[in-house]
A = this chain, B = another copy of it.
Amino acid sequence: MTWLELGDDAPFDAWTLPYGVFSTAGEAPRVGVAVGSWVLDLAPLAGAELFAQPTLNPFLAAGRPAWDAVRGRLLELVTEEAHRTSVEPHLVPAADVRPHLPFEVADYVDFYASQTHAENVGRLFRPDNPALPAAWRHLPIGYHGRAGTVVVSGTPVVRPSGLRRGGGADAAPAFGPSLKLDIEAEAGFVVGTPSPLGSRVPVGAFEDHVFGMVLVNDWSARDIQSFEYVPLGPFLGKSFATSVSPWVVPLAALAHARVSPPPRSPEPAAYLADAEPWGLDVSLEVEWNGTVVSRPPVRELYWTAAQQLAHLTVNGASLRTGDLYASGTVSGPRPGGSGCFLELTWNGAEPITLADGSARAFLEDGDTVTIRATAPGPAGARLRLGEVTGTVHPTP
């Protein structure tokens, strides 16, 4: 219960309390917490050292005890009427703020944790091979993406150019703007506490290192990707833009969303054994020019974020504050759960119709995609976890 008047349409309730970086006209970017239709300016209430900052990184680096202490204090501030007079002056209408990239991205890793997605991509890209790569059930397959092109929700996405396969078996490749611009709806995880080179982070230490979750749209040019990706993986087909939601949802806010992950067979190696269930009952919703076209279920992912973190570091790779790693496209096994248009339209073979009657196979210039998410909260509530949006701009 909160003394704030939130309304049913408020973007966030008084439990989620996600962190971001915002600015108002003429003022420097600083850390805020989104609640209702406001942004709570954190520095005056919780200290300038961590919060009068243009990124969350100092707070991320402060570690789990600091994260828990600040969240505990925030829950008091928004639930106890006695704090109303001290809090109200620092509530800025969300409509008046500009959100910024919430943290400086150190390294960006993208996984491939949806079995449905991996099988579908296998069928489409490698029809002569088994749908699932040989190692897929043994380890969370992943790769490094471009940290420097991670952008905040709302940043225009310029259609990338590149080489794609030419027509005919021996034809020269064709160069030009991508003809198969796609999205990937994903859940992303933000590392706060670093780990030293040469050490490992076990599955059970997930909560000590990971601060929270963002929504990710890993824009993908399928024609560029499918021409370039053998043998070193996706490169220019992905590196032009990756959008993230501006408000980082702390793990603590997802306590009621934790579920057991799907059964794994064969049993994974010991370093990947679940210490605690870190499946997450987060439901994504993909909206294309105003039409909801799919609802990808994060709970169906084969590998959890805790397992992905253990895998990422099992070779001794260090973590840095600001590392971002994402789930890979979230596609569920049932119809209506595709996290990318490659699957939704079966590589363009089965176009879909939007609410305005227009047909789509891949993204056209001017198209806007918004990914939202919800999850179970306390007392049966359904929490809103924010959104990530982007509009396609033509190649210059």
Q: Is the CB of A143 within 8 A of B144?
A: yes
Most buried by B among A147, A231, A319, A320: A231
Query: Hey, which chain B residues are within 8 Å of A235, CB to CB?
Result: 109, 141-144
Q: What is the chain B residue whose CB lies nearest that of A138?
A: B173
Please measure, in the bound complex, the distance between the C-alpha atom of A283 and the C-alpha atom of B235, giving whole angstroms: 29
Q: Is the CB of A317 within 8 A of B233?
A: no
| Residue A353, interface by CB 8 Å | no
Instruction: Looking at the assembled complex, report how far the CB atom of A353 sits from the nearest CB atom of chain B, in whole angstroms.
Output: 30
| Residue A134, interface by CB 8 Å | yes
Q: Is the CB of B144 within 8 A of A239?
A: yes
Interface size on A, residues (CB 8 A): 69
Q: What is the chain B residue whose CB lies nearest that of A267?
A: B172
Q: Is the CB of B151 within 8 A of A197?
A: yes
| Residue A67, interface by CB 8 Å | no
| Residue A160, interface by CB 8 Å | yes
Q: Is the CB of B240 within 8 A of A317?
A: yes
Q: What is the chain B residue whose CB lies nearest that of A396?
A: B198
The segment out of A42-50, A78-86, A88-96, A221-229 that lies at the interface is: A221-229
Instruction: Looking at the assembled complex, report how far the CB atom of A131 sits from the nearest CB atom of chain B, in whole angstroms.
Output: 11
Please measure, in the bound complex, the distance between the C-alpha atom of A379 and the C-alpha atom of B311, giving whole angstroms: 53
Query: Hey, which chain B residues are within 8 Å of A252, CB to CB?
Result: none
Instruction: Looking at the assembled complex, report how far the CB atom of A170 sits from the nearest CB atom of chain B, in whole angstroms.
Output: 11
Query: Hey, which chain B residues are within 8 Å of A155, CB to CB?
Result: 197
Q: Is the CB of B143 within 8 A of A143?
A: yes
| Residue A290, interface by CB 8 Å | no
Q: Is the CB of B317 within 8 A of A175?
A: no
Most buried by B among A121, A145, A229: A229
| Residue A260, interface by CB 8 Å | no
Determine how many copies of this chain the complex contains.
Answer: 2
| Residue A4, interface by CB 8 Å | no
Q: Is the CB of B231 within 8 A of A126?
A: yes
Query: Hey, which chain B residues are within 8 Å of A311, CB to CB?
Result: 236
Query: Hey, which chain B residues are within 8 Å of A266, CB to CB?
Result: 172
Please measure, in the bound complex, the distance between the C-alpha atom of A198 and the C-alpha atom of B156, giving whole angstroms: 9
| Residue A291, interface by CB 8 Å | no
Q: Is the CB of B271 within 8 A of A175?
A: yes
| Residue A318, interface by CB 8 Å | yes
Please measure, in the bound complex, the distance between the C-alpha atom of A198 and the C-alpha atom of B161, giving whole angstroms: 10
Q: What is the chain B residue whose CB lies nearest that of A155?
A: B197
Which of B125, B161, B163, B317 contacts A135, CB < 8 Å?
B163
Q: Is the CB of A135 within 8 A of B173?
A: yes
Query: Hey, which chain B residues are within 8 Å of A237, CB to CB?
Result: 315
Please measure, in the bound complex, the distance between the C-alpha atom of A232 and the C-alpha atom of B126, giving whole angstroms: 13
| Residue A269, interface by CB 8 Å | yes
Please measure, in the bound complex, the distance between the C-alpha atom of A298 and the C-alpha atom of B142, giving whole angstroms: 30
B-contact bits for A296-338, CB 8 A (1 contact / 0 none)? 0000000000000001101111111001000000000000000
Instruction: Looking at the assembled complex, report how far the CB atom of A122 sits from the nearest CB atom of chain B, in whole angstroms.
Output: 8
Which of B112, B146, B163, B318 contacts A107, CB < 8 Å?
B146
Please measure, in the bound complex, the distance between the C-alpha atom of A237 and the C-alpha atom of B233, giving whole angstroms: 14
Contacts known (A147-B147, A198-B396, A227-B135); A141 close to B316, Cβ less than 8 A: no
Please measure, in the bound complex, the distance between the C-alpha atom of A134 and the C-alpha atom of B232, giving whole angstroms: 12
Contacts known (A133-B230, A197-B151, A241-B197); A314 close to B107, Cβ less than 8 A: no
| Residue A6, interface by CB 8 Å | no
Please measure, in the bound complex, the distance between the C-alpha atom of A396 and the C-alpha atom of B109, giving whole angstroms: 25
Those 8 A-B pairs whose CB atoms lie nearest each other, nearest first: A233-B233, A160-B315, A158-B198, A143-B232, A144-B144, A232-B233, A236-B315, A240-B315
